[in-house]
Amino acid sequence: MALHIGEEAPNFTAETTEGTIDFHDWIGDGWAILFSHPKDFTPVCTTELGYMAGLKSEFAKRNCKVVGLSIDPVTDHKEWAKDIEETQGHAVNYPIVGDSDMKVAKLYDMLHPEASGPSEGRTAADNATVRSVFVVGPDKKIKLMLTYPMTTGRNFDEVLRVVDSMQLTAKHQVATPVNWKAGDDVIIVPSVSNEQAKEKYPDGWKTLKPYLRLVAPPK
């Protein structure tokens, strides 16, 4: 099933390293990041899960939870976590879903197109989930989808930057320009007239083109 930005994130109930969760209930009234990795005890993902553990407090400041997923069982996740802490310097401090029946992987279209299912004589361990990232908002809708190749480590600093942008634009009628970082000027969206903008931004803005107006970020 192909998913799209703006659609409701499929709900699921699953076993994790921190117990059973109902995904929508677990998200609550905040934001969430769901990211998959192909298999436990793999090198690139070992570095990723450790780095994400180091960033968890930053996401928490933004009322954003983190959950990982692999088609390996929870028992394997707990063993792998020891290696992650040893090599990356951060203990895994967020739940990891054990998706051995591939229910969640199928819901989120995470199965590699060349992977064969158990019905073809292979086990779940033979299948590869693609390395995807989903950001889900408080309304339980998908706000961002990223998919990376197996050999390229993900940039979770970029995911943090995007969360900052999406949370800002969700509250104000603005957009963020290329390479925007928190504190940089933002764009007044074209649907806001100059008259409306004067009320919102009495200190003024910079007009590069009638459709491109830059202003200091709202507090």
Average pLDDT over residues 115-136: 61
Q: How confident is the model at residue 2 (pLDDT cuts 50, 70, 90)?
A: confident
d(CA 33, CA 25): 14
Average pLDDT over residues 175-199: 97
Q: Is pLDDT above 80 for 123? A: no
CATH 3.40.30.10 correct for 13-153: yes
pLDDT of amino acid 131? 87
pLDDT of amino acid 117? 42
List, for residues 85-100, the tens digit of each pLDDT value.
Answer: 999 999 999 999 999 9
Average pLDDT over residues 9-34: 98
pLDDT of amino acid 113? 63
Q: Please, what sign has the CA dihedral across residues 25, 61, 9, 7?
A: positive
Active site residue 45: yes
Pairing of strands 64-70, 31-36: parallel
Share of residues in the chain with pLDDT > 70 (%): 91
What is the CATH topology of the domain spanning 172-215? Antioxidant, Horf6; Chain A, domain 2 (3.30.1020)
Q: Is pLDDT above 50 for 148? A: yes
Instruction: Work out the burial of residue 155: count CB atoms within 10 Å of its CB; fewer than 13 is exposed, 13-18 middle, 19 or more buried.
Output: middle
- For the chain, which residues make up each domain, given as ranges? 13-153, 172-215
List the catalytic residue out of 45, 110, 136, 197: 45
Contact present, 217 and 184 (Cβ < 8 Å): yes
